[in-house]
Structure 1
Amino acid sequence: MSCFTFTLRLCLSFAALALSAAHAQDAAAPPPAAASSPASSPAASTEAAREALGKKEGDVDQAKVLKDTLSATDKQYSLLKAGKRALTYDLTYSYIGQQLISASFTDQTLTQFAIQNTRGHTVTNTISADYGVRDNLTANLTVPLVSKYSQSETFSGLSNGIGDISLGARFQPFALSRTLPALTATGTLRLATGRSPFKTIEGQGLATGAGYHGVTLGVNASKVIDPVAIFGSLNTTLGLPVKHLSQTRNGQTLREVHPGPSVGFGIGFAYALSYNISTTLSFQESISARTRLKLVDANGNNVDTKTSSQSSAMVNLGLGVRVSPVTTMNFTVGIGLTTDTPDFTVGMNMPLHF
């Protein structure tokens, strides 16, 4: 419920109470007498008036009505209303630069040493569609279009294609409260619709997806302390194994990939500079367990190995600009804090109206 609606209802309630009190007094007052009776005394008239104006059994307690009016609120949620639809467009650019050292030893003697500089540019256009199933339940469909350009000493190329499509839902178990934070449970199923990194041919293409299906469960919390909104999130992701692969790299053939689980969290705040401008500052981190790989070497022997664990962290700076009563454009800049994170990202988000 908006502050305006709550204030309007409160004013109407006070007006109703005033009219009710006036009507009660008019009904309770005795009719005027044509002439004073000599038998009636001032004490008797006072007692009769007090009894007539006093509270009778069954009368409505005005204090109770006022208390109920102030405490009664409709259940309100921050998600889409039931039956409502929304489209959102996201544009994100990310850059990552790496230096890879390749070294080979034979009988403890260095026989090969090389440093490879790799630079990667990724532009992602994402369309998200939301539908309000209920006032506290929203379904979501996300379709990304990915363009990647990579440049190194051994390969330079551009790849365009669809990314990993996601199906998700957001659920608010409790209505909004003036004292408690708003809680939202989220669930996302990521489909491996993009070009898999486990199926690309070395030097001939770039991946546009993760290569495996994944399920993410999380919870978000937010609290408005005017003019600041504080928010945080916690989530976990489980990746489904990928089998029947046949990718050859460095004389070995990849057969199976078993992704390790990951845990992520984030925290931040938004500050309203005015009715049309707001700023955000947030931090997010994700820690992924080791991924198990099953390979076959040149001699036909099975080899089981694990990658190292990964930790990605980023600080995001945002600016929101309200360009119309129903349209707010958001701009973000992310700064990578670890080697497993892009060096920086730049993004823009806006709703679409048709």
Structure 2
Amino acid sequence: MNVRSIRSIPTVHCTRTAFPQRTALAVLTGCSLLLAGPLCAQGSDPAHLLRRMEARMAEQDRRIGELQQQVARQQAVLDSLEQDLADARLEALRARGNSQAPVLPLVAGQAAAVHAPGATVQADAGVAAQGDAVAAADTQVGRPPDPEERPPEVARIFEQPGVLTPAGKLVLEPSLQFGYSSNDRVALVGYTVIPAILIGLIDVRQVKTTSLTAAVAARYGLGGRFELEAKVPFSYISSDTVSREIFTGSAQDAVFQADGKGLGDIELTARYQLDQGAADKPFYVLWLRYKTRTGRDLFEVVTDCVTRCVANATGTGLPLDLPTGSGFASLQPGVTWLYASDPVVFFGSLSYLHNFERDNVSRTVLSGAPEGYPQTTTELLGTIDAGDIIGFNFGMGLALNERAAVSFGYDQSIVDRTKQNGEDAPGAVRVVLGTLVIGGSYRLSERASLNVALGVGVTRDTPDVSLAVRMPISF
């Protein structure tokens, strides 16, 4: 090709005087993006090129809008996944019956799919391919870990669980609790002539109480942070009182036996989780428990005569049938906290139980009258206000393997004095109950787990031993 032929090639001159500045800039930009040099060289109409560029830019704006909607949907999915992850982390801290943690999609895999080299698009394909890549990222990459690989649950050793039931889930928790206590009481009636020598009578009394309570609790999650629970107990209580009563002159111990069985006090509880918690941040759960008076109480059973009623024997003043309820409706607010510090989890709670007082309370007592006369009499007690209770507990849990975990803790309750007609009831004292608790849990399946807790009393007024077995089952 000679110089003459080169000069004969037609050219297009895009001068500033021919078009406004914005139009020239748009034409130049469009030419550079679409590689429109050949088109300009072929003598195409600049106005036509501009219209094509404006149409293409409008199409790109539409696709960018669609991509923004895709991003908004992806952000909503990520927010939901973060919520599920927080719930799963909280669920792994303490056993509450729902042994199956939610399976989370692999968010990291999605991000890798979006930024993978295969997800890049060509410039001439426009932005639509990017939207397709984002839509393709919705599919799960890889597979979730096997259930055995998820963090195990920490054994529950206290009455109130610390992890809520997921929304729409139901947990049924049958339980069986055994308790045994033995109290000694010595009463001295007489006088001393020299130190350590007593002239008179001694009343030595041992009270041995055994209780067995079977209960069914149902928990239902109403939302991500709220659940309701109902608990129905059935109790059997047996008591043996060994005593050598005063004024009898007997050298033999007398044994007084009594028992009782039936429906206990039904409980209703609502729980609300304040925050989602995070690494280095505790979880807080507020709860409110209401205890009814459905069980047979102390004022509904017949009490043995308090004073001498048969021949030369005195009455024990003990109930002939043991009650299965407390006799007082109560309301108990509290807060439970959990804090994860790998590899252990610390937890505890603080609560205050208020017993509602009862007016015009009376009890039925044996009168000791001979046959043919009324054998019982009604004794008016007036207004009875059972003491309120301040309770707290704390403990720590440790996972042994994928299925088993153990927990250690301490539980204490301070019971105030019982008042009768505004005054302290005769013999009423403040009582401190302290219990050391050790427990373990084992995950039987994805829906059920077995939880065992053993409590040992550390104060005289606390039951010597208590053993609770729970089996929460999720649906």
Q: In the alignment, is the contact (CA less than 8 A) between 1:78 and 1:176 conserved in 2?
A: no
Structure-2 residue corresponding to 1:147? 236
Range 261-270 or range 4-13, more displaced? 4-13
Range 180-189 or range 7-16, more displaced? 7-16
Letter matched to residue 209 of structure 2: G
Matched, 1:95 2:183: no
Letter matched to residue 317 of structure 1: I
What are structure 1's unaligned runs of at least 5 residues?
30-76, 296-301
Structure-2 residue corresponding to 1:116? 205
Aligned-pair identity in percent equals 25
Matched, 1:126 2:184: no
Secondary structure of 2:165 counterpart: coil
Q: In the alignment, is the contact (CA less than 8 A) between 1:220 and 1:232 conserved in 2?
A: yes
Structure-1 residue corresponding to 2:108? 10
Q: In the alignment, is the contact (CA less than 8 A) between 1:293 and 1:306 conserved in 2?
A: no
More helix by share: 2
Structure-1 residue corresponding to 2:359? 243
Range 252-261 or range 325-334, more displaced? 252-261
**TM superposition shift of 1:266:** 0.6
- After TM superposition, the score normalised by the length of structure 1 is 0.76
Structure-1 residue corresponding to 2:291? 190
Structure-2 residue corresponding to 1:349? 470
Letter matched to residue 241 of structure 1: E
**TM superposition shift of 1:133:** 1.6
Task: Write the distance in 1 (CA, Å) between the matches of 2:286 and 2:409.
Answer: 20
From 18, 24, 27, the equivalent of 2:123 is 27
Structure-1 residue corresponding to 2:414? 287
Matched, 1:171 2:242: no
- After TM superposition, the score normalised by the length of structure 2 is 0.58
- Over the aligned positions, Cα root-mean-square deviation in angstroms equals 3.2
User: In the TM superposition, what whole-angstrom CA distance separates every residue of 1:112-146 from its partner, at most 9, and x where no partner exists?
Assistant: 42101111100010110111121211001011100
Structure-1 residue corresponding to 2:154? none
Structure-2 residue corresponding to 1:254? 381
**TM superposition shift of 1:155:** 2.0
Q: In the alignment, is the contact (CA less than 8 A) between 1:168 and 1:189 conserved in 2?
A: yes
Structure-2 residue corresponding to 1:158? 259
Matched, 1:309 2:430: yes
Q: In the alignment, is the contact (CA less than 8 A) between 2:169 and 2:474 conserved in 1?
A: no
Secondary structure of 1:145 counterpart: strand
Q: Which has the higher contact order (CA 8 A, sep 6+)?
A: 2
Structure-1 residue corresponding to 2:456? 335
Q: In the alignment, is the contact (CA less than 8 A) between 2:206 and 2:241 conserved in 1?
A: yes
Letter matched to residue 395 of structure 2: G
Q: How many residues align?
A: 301
**TM superposition shift of 1:262:** 1.6
Secondary structure of 2:359 counterpart: coil
Q: 1:117 to 1:332 in 2, by over 3 A?
A: same
**TM superposition shift of 1:291:** 1.4
Task: Write the distance in 1 (CA, Å) between the matches of 2:430 and 2:424.
Answer: 19
Q: In the alignment, is the contact (CA less than 8 A) between 1:131 and 1:140 conserved in 2?
A: yes
Secondary structure of 2:300 counterpart: coil
Secondary structure of 1:245 counterpart: strand
Q: In the alignment, is the contact (CA less than 8 A) between 1:197 and 1:206 conserved in 2?
A: yes
**TM superposition shift of 1:278:** 0.6
Matched, 1:226 2:324: no
More strand by share: 1
Structure-2 residue corresponding to 1:57? none
Letter matched to residue 167 of structure 2: A
